[in-house]
Amino acid sequence: MKNILVLCRQAHVINLAWKNIWRNKVRSGVILGAIAIGLFSGTFLLSFMQGWILGTVDSDIQTQYSHVQIHNADFLANYDVNAHFIRNEVEEKIAQFGKDAACHVSTKTAYCLNLSGMLASSHNAIGITAKGVLPDEEMLVTDVWRHIPDTMGVFLTDDTRMAIVISSRLAEKLRVRLRSRIVFTFQDVHGDMQSLAFRVSGIFNTTNAMFDEATVFVHYSDVFRYTGLPEGAFHEAAILLPDIEASDIVYPQLKNLFPEMSVRDWKELNPALSMYFAMTNFMGLIILGIFLFALSFGIINTMLMAVLERTRELGMLGAIGMSKRKIFSMIMLETVFLTLIGSIAGIVLAAAVVLPTIQSGIDLSFFMEDQFEDFGFASIVYPILNIKMFVEIIVLVIVAGILSAIYPARKALKLKPLEAIRQV
């Protein structure tokens, strides 16, 4: 019976707090609108930032880095053509690693040569890196071939001898087009210069301008015989995993598997992007926290006015026996109700705006053209909404509501019933 009475009293306080919110509909509506707009802005910005960074990370992984890369330890010092490894030795270890019962992650691996040199046409010459690839393998770990329009050729899949795939940016600088002939010059293992004539078989255009302007693709067999390298030599093994989380699991194991070689994951391959990725959630929550901090002053002001307007009423409640704890709880509940209602409205509004853009994306090129791509960022952003984000927002809102309610509630506790009743 005692527990039932306690529950009834608590329900009475909750019901009273809910009704008090709507006693002044205009004031409550204004603060609810402010909270909703603040949460809408914060939620939209958070989903936009996560979509932008995660989209850029995924694009770079799919286009140029893969999740993990393996090189000869000396290769990274100056990209020396002599710093190679024999494929069979690396392939056997990776195959055994894939069969390990403790590793439940599927891997796709592609091997290539990385040759630094000069690409020249009759109009211009540009320093680039030519990747000598096996097309069927390369298409499993990179999506460059997906960025070749139907009218711009194919990704080394035709029978054209000495074919080369370049970007539209390089094609513009070299003033070449599909089927044009260009010359690639590089240094072999003996220090001799090798000049090879290629014919453009495909032109791609990714969202990373820096990659486009520095990378071309050729058949492994077309360049290997001019390098002077031993049979089965490669410079790079690129490993694609199901997702970034899998990379965090597999990368340390591969590093232990190849202690004598250079094993780097995408974070080490692009430290700047890794930093942006790590800071995305943190910075988003800070921005959302700033929104809530600013809104908390409006909440405090609104609730303080509500307390001062109801001085006689609060005094009467104290005079008839309502405990200070219940009065404190009532004011706290009113504030929490306001913040929760406003935040839910803001989150629903943000979801309604973001959901249609998840598939279509938000094109930023209309005001900055391709400047984002010049720095390696995608100009089309696909916002992200997830449960973790909503949980973080709700927790922040509840904390902000509770903190905002403390001062008005303490002000109500300081009221003396008899003096409050006498006030007009």
Domain ranges of the chain: 12-61+274-422, 110-232
**372 pLDDT exceeds 70?**
no
- What is the pTM (predicted TM-score) of this model? 0.73
Predicted confidence at residue 303, as pLDDT, reads 76
What does the DSSP 8-state code read for residue 64?
Answer: I
77-81, 169-173, 265-269 — which one is most confidently predicted on average? 169-173
- If you average pLDDT over residues 84-106, what whole number do you get? 77
Range name among 111-115, 141-145, 247-251, 389-393 with the lowest pLDDT average: 389-393
Backbone dihedral angles phi then psi of residue 12, each to the nearest 5 degrees = -65, -40
**277 pLDDT exceeds 80?**
no
Predicted confidence at residue 215, as pLDDT, reads 93
Of 246 and 312, which is predicted with more confidence? 246
SS3 301: helix
Of 238 and 384, which is predicted with more confidence? 238
**216 pLDDT exceeds 90?**
yes
**C-alpha closest to that of 402 among 356, 336, 323, 320:** 336
- If you average pLDDT over residues 99-126, what whole number do you get? 83
Amino acid occupying residue 297: F
Predicted confidence at residue 417, as pLDDT, reads 57
Query: Whole-angstrom Cα distance, residue 138 to residue 129?
Result: 16
- If you average pLDDT over residues 296-320, what whole number do you get? 72
Of 283 and 12, which is predicted with more confidence? 283
**8 pLDDT exceeds 60?**
no
Residue partners of 97: CB distance under 8 A and separation at least 6: 103, 107, 253, 254, 257
**168 pLDDT exceeds 60?**
yes
Q: What is the CATH number of domain 110-232?
A: 2.40.70
**1 pLDDT exceeds 70?**
no
Query: What sign has the CA pseudo-torsion 46, 48, 54, 57?
Result: negative
**DSSP letters of 11-28?**
HHHHHHHHHHHTTSHHHH
**23 pLDDT exceeds 90?**
no
Torsion of CA 397, 402, 407, 411, to 10 degrees: 130
- If you average pLDDT over residues 155-162, what whole number do you get? 79
Give the distance from CA 226 to its chain's centroid: 41
- If you average pLDDT over residues 139-144, what whole number do you get? 90
Q: Say what percent of the chain tops pLDDT 90.
A: 26
- If you average pLDDT over residues 266-277, what whole number do you get? 80
pLDDT band of residue 37 (cuts 50, 70, 90) is: confident
